[in-house]
Amino acid sequence: MRVVLRQEFPLGRFHATPWRVNPFDDPHGEWPPSPWRLVRAVTARWYQWARETESEPDLAQLEKLQSALCKSTYAFHLPPDARKGSPLRQYHPTDFGWRPAEKKKPGTRSYGTSLVQDNYWYVPPEAPVWWFIDGDAWVDELQAVLVQCLERMTYFGRAETLTRIRVAGSADEIPQANCTLADKRTAGAVPVLSPLKEATREDIERTTDNPEAVKRAVPPGAQWLYAGRPQRPAARERRRVPEHRPDCHLMQFAIGRNVSPERRAIVRLTARFRGAVLRELLRLKMGDASANWTRASRDVREAVADMTGKDANGEALRGHRHTEFLAWCEDDQPTRLLVWRGSRAFDADEQEAILLAPARDVSWAAAGSDSDEWKVRLVPLDRAVPPPPGFGGQSSKIWESVTPYVPPRHHLRGGKEREGESMAEQIRREVQGREIAQDVEVELVGSPQWVSVHVPRREANKRAIIGDRRGQMVRLRFTTPVVGPIRLGHSSSFGLGLFRPVEEPGQP
């Protein structure tokens, strides 16, 4: 007759060490749980049940139960995802005395310590272990006794292993056994301690520090059998699927750092983050961890065009369709990185790629031996965080620089301003070209400052280009209120030339 047990480990761990195995040298761990451990645990819970009934223990009943367990054969269905966990190591107090122990040295009285290693198996809480116990002695009376014992079992193995174990019912979907015990060891099989058929109550109830048992290779009444564990499925990365936010045009990240990025290094930071986003997006589209734009097919290139800013032929997109990577500054220091696209909302793959990209810290230093020392951690901000001023539909007549404006064309020649190419004239042309307004009054604020700019690879390959240009903080005054966001000038898609609205006097 077969008895099927269903055992769960709610904390997701099974802590146990096989008989006479040094925890520091345990090559296998106890898995599956040993039948010998089950026999002893059921015996302990039988005595608990007898104490609760406050009657004289019926030892004959106990011996029948033990005999049925010892004469049965065992098989298991083990969860395929069970894994041997990384050992836990901790110091436990030992004897109390002088430290150091030599009397001639000055010292203090305290507890000693002993390093203990705790081995365990990770078992998914939702994946039970199924025991298949086959024997001729399992009459209804003994099964009822077994049920009473299992109901009182709260841990199995070491006390850290909380468990729920019961006899399977008719409503359970019982799987097939995938682990059996054999007398002889085969390749890949592991030893499992099991009871002998002739084991006595004295053998089962003997304490583990008993002199007759402690030096034996196996405790009296037990034997080693060998289990062939089921083959574990190949480990695969589970694709993280974040919640898709419809109509998402802006994603924000807080800039966590030990040293704040220099404002002149904004483009280095945004360009490197853009590169990480593109790698993740191509990996999602192509299903290849080593994917890149060069190896991508024409269809994939077209699918990521709005993120790369270039079409399948490598030509720059027209009409500001591409994604922009911007930096928001407060008190002249970058505090947020913004990913913005006004032409259309980010789709599910784009949102996932943007959220996966900050898995690694991003450097804002110039390329060199110390570039890895100056990094920031980008932390995604919840949608409840309001967008920065200018990205929420506000309108204003006055806008001032958040990051330096760099004119797209050189405005100086020989130290003198070129005719028709002053900063004010270049800003007016761009404001008109982007249809922001018909005219604007431009006020230069402060002194010029050097900033890094973005140099496209196609231009850098043609001629030597210096990656730093002079930028200028600017204030814009329009005749009528205009709506942002406003980004102007060189590298405006990488964080330069970003403006914020300014409240006018008397404006609510």
Give residue limits of the domains in the chain.
2-83+120-227, 246-388, 390-508
Residues 197 and 199: their CA atoms lie apart, in Å, by 6
Do the Cβ atoms of 499 and 400 come closer than 8 Å?
A: yes
Token look-up 């998914």 returns 124
Do the Cβ atoms of 338 and 328 come closer than 8 Å?
A: yes
| Rounded (10°) CA dihedral 384, 386, 387, 392 | 110
Three-state helix/strand/coil letters over 289-352: CCCCCCCCCHHHHHHCHHHHCECCCCCECCCCCCCEEEEEEECCEEEEEEEECCCCCCCHHHHH
Do the Cβ atoms of 17 and 30 come closer than 8 Å?
A: yes
SS3 assignment, position 352 = helix
Does the reported pTM lie above 0.75?
Answer: no
Do the Cβ atoms of 269 and 334 come closer than 8 Å?
A: yes
Residue 469 parent element (H or E): strand 468-483
Q: Please state the separation of Cα 334 from the chain's center in Å.
A: 26
Residues 143 and 355: their CA atoms lie apart, in Å, by 55
Half-sphere exposure (CA, 13 Å, Cβ side) for 147?
10
Residues 230 and 246: their CA atoms lie apart, in Å, by 44
Closest CA to 229 of 178, 268, 276: 178
What's residue 56's pLDDT? 80
**CA max distance for the chain:** 111
- Beta carbons within 8 Å of 424's beta carbon, 6+ residues apart: 442, 444
Letter for the amino acid at 344?
A: R
Alpha helix stretches (DSSP H) within 198-341: 201-205, 211-214, 266-286, 298-303, 305-308
DSSP 8-class letter at 186 = -
- Rg (alpha carbons) of the chain, rounded to whole number: 36
The pLDDT tens digits along the chain (508 residues) read 899 999 999 999 999 988 878 888 888 889 999 999 999 999 999 999 999 987 788 899 999 999 999 999 999 999 998 998 888 888 888 888 887 777 666 778 888 888 888 889 999 999 999 999 999 999 999 999 999 999 999 999 888 899 999 999 989 999 999 999 999 999 889 999 999 999 999 999 988 776 666 677 888 999 999 999 998 877 666 666 667 888 899 999 999 887 788 878 889 899 999 999 999 999 988 888 778 888 888 888 898 888 888 888 888 888 778 899 999 998 888 999 999 998 889 999 999 999 999 988 888 887 766 656 788 899 999 888 999 999 988 899 999 999 999 998 877 776 777 877 888 899 999 999 888 998 999 999 988 888 888 887 666 554 444 568 889 999 999 999 999 899 999 988 899 999 999 987 655 4
Token look-up 């030990």 returns 258
Residues 318 and 311: their CA atoms lie apart, in Å, by 10
* 100 cis-preceded (ω within 30 degrees of 0): yes
Residues 387 and 196: their CA atoms lie apart, in Å, by 71
CATH value of 390-508 in 3.40.1620, 2.60.40, 3.40.50, 1.10.150: 2.60.40
383: its two tokens: 């949608």
Q: Please state the separation of Cα 268 from the chain's center in Å.
A: 27
Residue 355 parent element (H or E): helix 348-356
> Angle at Cα 310 formed by Cα 306 and Cα 311, nearest 5°?
90
**Edge-to-edge strand order for the sheet containing 499-502?**
441-452, 468-483, 395-401, 499-502
468: its two tokens: 């730093």
Q: Please state the separation of Cα 120 from the chain's center in Å.
A: 22
Residues 310 and 236: their CA atoms lie apart, in Å, by 33
- Cα dist. 213→22, 196, 199, 204 in Å? 16, 15, 14, 11
Residues 252 and 388: their CA atoms lie apart, in Å, by 9
Sign of CA dihedral 434, 436, 439, 441: negative
What's residue 370's pLDDT? 61
